[in-house]
Structure 1
């Protein structure tokens, strides 16, 4: 299986990547060290739905057995849209 282009080269461990990121930009190093597989998967699902991926596509990429599991990303997007509308209306009514 071919690695995605964003994958680390085979000679670079995640520990080395964390150290390199911390030297380049300390905040990035802190984020990289704290990133979890669950958090990265959730971020992928959330951003995918927010940017137009279908739930079925997200479901397949995240290997969810049920579309109901994947639908949490759609619910999160709807909540985000309501917050965006609320902020717009608050600004418009000033």
Structure 2
């Protein structure tokens, strides 16, 4: 007998994967060699707090991110590397 309690979890994963596809299209517009970094990866390279990072973006000291969705922001690795070289 098949356990049907697993089926809803599979459906949720499928819905999640289909929801990600528009973000993939946005990322596909980036050059092939460009790497996008999420905030934890950026803060691992630039040792400042989250609040300092966001205030730096607002003031123009740090590069603005690329919006992939309403709650998802990434930064181009090349811009972060250039920032590190300029410090």
Task: Check whether TM > 0.5.
Answer: no
Q: Which has the higher strand share?
A: 2
Q: Which has the higher helix share?
A: 1
Using CA pairs under 8 Å that are at least 6 residues apart, name the structure with larger relative contact order, 1 or 2: 2
Q: TM-score, normalised by structure 2?
A: 0.29
